[in-house]
Chains A and B, each alone.
Chain A
Amino acid sequence: GENVEQHPSTLSVQEGDSAVIKCTYSDSASNYFPWYKQELGKRPQLIIDIRSNVGEKKDQRIAVTLNKTAKHFSLHITETQPEDSAVYFCAASTPAGGQNFVFGPGTRLSVLP
């Protein structure tokens, strides 16, 4: 089955700097890769997603890149703000698995003022 790894497990950046979180997946059939942000005590919220027919997607300060050959995808946050502090989970989904995502273990991002 699918296995998703995520690095780093914790990340601290200064406000205004960029943050990058990387994920790798094992199943080459995976074709959909969402990213979720979970603030302390709150629900996971979808912040951006990418499909396998696209190499990059951007939404304001957030971007995701996908390298299908290497089977990895990354979340890029620019001009970080304190409210970006949260746990970020990547996930992968295969056609056979429908929308039964396999989540990465998470990255705790701290943006220091």
Chain B
Amino acid sequence: DTEVTQTPKHLVMGMTNKKSLKCEQHMGHRAMYWYKQKAKKPPELMFVYSYEKLSINESVPSRFSPECPNSSLLNLHLHALQPEDSALYLCASSQDREQGNYGYTFGSGTRLTVV
């Protein structure tokens, strides 16, 4: 399996809703990432997990809460989002980041619309 799987593919939620995005990989990668991508813009890093521990939080608002239950799974819990949070949310994974730099494998993303 050489893929990163994200669910759901599309999500529409109200500003008072609570929802979760899910990401799964079975490539043995020990680093996993959440990125946010607005239209016609590059991906922006939100969170990095290395060996299931949060190593970087790029000053993301607390209405976004990441969780890494195990080395294959990554969740992003959403609560009280704003319309400007509407974007494509990409999960990515890579080989052990402590061993050097490797390219990411991105998931297909969840297109989130906040109404």
Contact = CB atoms under 8 A, between A and B. Distances in A.
Binding between chains A and B? yes
Interface of A: 31-32, 34, 36, 42-46, 49, 51, 89, 93, 95, 98-101, 103-106
B45 A100 contact: yes
B97 interface: yes
Contact of B50 (A45, A98, A103): A98
B107 A43 contact: yes
A99 B104 contact: yes
- Which 3 residue pairs are nearest across A and B when measured between Cβ atoms? A32-B101, A103-B42, A46-B103
Given A98-B50, A99-B31, A100-B48, A89 B102 contact: no
A89 B44 CA distance: 12
B107 A105 contact: no
A36 B98 CA distance: 22
14 contacts: A36-B106, A42-B108, A44-B43, A44-B90, A46-B104, A46-B105, A51-B101, A98-B48, A98-B101, A99-B31, A99-B102, A103-B43, A103-B44, A105-B41
B42 A89 contact: yes
Given A99-B101, A106-B40, A45 B106 contact: yes
B94 interface: yes
A106 B101 contact: no
A43 B102 contact: no
A95 B44 CA distance: 19
Contacts of A49: 103
B11 interface: no
Contacts of B109: 43
Contacts of B55: 98
Contacts of A95: 101
B56 interface: yes
Given A98-B50, A99-B101, A100-B56, A44 B106 contact: yes
B41 A106 contact: yes
Given A42-B108, A44-B43, A98-B50, 11 more contacts: A36-B106, A44-B104, A51-B101, A98-B31, A98-B55, A98-B97, A99-B31, A99-B101, A100-B48, A103-B44, A104-B42
